[in-house]
Structure 1
């Protein structure tokens, strides 16, 4: 491997840096975007069962918040209806929407960086190819003689950098698409959970009776 890096020349080092960062991001996202950490299978049903008769205590809501990303969304709705029993349905939906946006933003963390690596790696490989081609043409002496060592090094730089760029870009792009699909799936699950919780929590809202109009004088 060291001999390959030496043969590829200095343009290979940005690609190596991209590969290290990309691998770290892939491992981090694989660990973070697990179903049990985002949308545990039975959490929503458990919350609905617990809140069937009454709203839970603040410490229970705090534990729910620390459970998962879905728990954060559900806990936000429970806290909102507990803090303001006169909350209307539109305001409750807005609470879920706001916390859902924050949750999705957290799920998308580092994905732009991974996508940038997938897009930039082939360009860095192309840059190395151009550098190699420059060295190839530089090996041609004005007298027409060719320096075989410099010629071979230029060819190595051109080919190795192109190959390394593709080796880095293809997996990075595949994982980027995979993680993007998972984030979209999780976002849909959070939205559906919020839609289910809104009518459930509105049962605990205090209905404000409409104010009757005062009859005109003389009637």
Structure 2
């Protein structure tokens, strides 16, 4: 492995740095985008039960809900304006949802950039290696054909490394984008169900009229 890195020359340095950054992003996103961290199980049912029972939701209670998870932040946004019309509640939920999507897509642009830049850096390293090899030919002649073939092989190390960096970065970039899209659909479903409960209002506690 060290021989291959040494053979690729100095263009291998940015490729290795990109691979380290991509690995760090992948591990961090796997940790941050766990389903129980984004959509805690039972949270939507619990909030709807609070509203259905007419339980008072003071600001501190709503703030606590907002800090639990992205789903909690979305439901808290609906509760902040629960006394307004459904259309106003929907607008608030959509606005907060856009901010949550931006937060969940953190570092994904960087991962996509690594996926695009990896092959280009690999090709650049190959070109640099080929230039150095042909300059050596100009100075010392063709010499041994096996040595020439070995020089070409070493120059292609950068191309292979660039692909090894780019392919996993591209795969995980698409994977995380798909996972976030699925989370957004589920969060929208939970918000709509909460709005339905808000429209219904708390149950009346007035006693039923006695028959005459």
For 2:170 and 2:13, locate their aligned partners in 1 and report how far apart those are by CA, in whole Å.
Answer: 20
| Secondary structure of the structure 2 residue equivalent to 1:140 | helix
Asked if structure 2 preserves the Cα contact closer than 8 Å seen for 1:139 and 1:146, the reply is no
In 2, Cα distance between equivalents of 1:134 and 1:63: 62
User: What is the CA-CA distance between 1:153 and the residue it aligns to?
Assistant: 7.3
Q: Where in structure 2 are the equivalents of 1:41-190 lying within 5 Å?
A: 41-54=41-54, 55-81=56-82, 85=83, 87-141=84-138, 144-146=141-143, 151=148, 154-190=151-187
How far, CA to CA, are the matches of 1:155 and 1:103 in structure 2? 49
> Is contact 1:89-1:202 (8 Å) kept?
yes
CA distance in 2, matches of 1:195, 1:155: 61
CA-to-partner distance for each residue in 1:35-70, whole Å, 9 max, x for gaps?
A: 011111211111111221224232322221111100
Q: CA deviation at 1:114?
A: 0.3
C-alpha distance in 1, partners of 2:4/2:145? 18
Q: Pick which of 120-129 and 189-198 moved more.
A: 189-198
Cα separation, 2, equivalents of 1:105 and 1:153: 48
- Kept in 2, the 8 Å contact 1:65–1:74? The answer is yes
Query: Aligned-pair RMSD on alpha carbons?
Result: 2.2
1:40 and 2:40 aligned: yes
Q: CA deviation at 1:150?
A: 8.2
Tell me the CA shift for residue 79 of structure 1: 1.6
Tell me the TM-score normalized by structure 1.
0.84
Gaps of at least 5 residues in structure 1 are: 206-219
Tell me the TM-score normalised to structure 2 length.
Answer: 0.86
**Deviation by residue 1:116-174 (Cα, 9 ceiling, x = unmatched):** 10111011111111111112211213674538898577435412101111111111111
Residues matched between the structures, number = 201
When residues 132 and 43 of structure 1 are mapped into structure 2, their CA distance, relative to the original with a 3 A threshold, is same
Structure 2 distance, partners of 1:173, 1:145, is 40
Relative to structure 1, is the Cα distance of residues 68 and 7 closer, same or farther in structure 2, using a 3 angstrom cutoff?
same
Q: What whole-Å deviation, never above 9, does each CA across 1:67-106 have from its counterpart, x for those lacking one?
A: 110000001111222xxx3x11111110111111111111
**Structure 2 runs not aligned, ≥5 long:** 203-212
The structural deviation recorded for 1:4 is 2.5
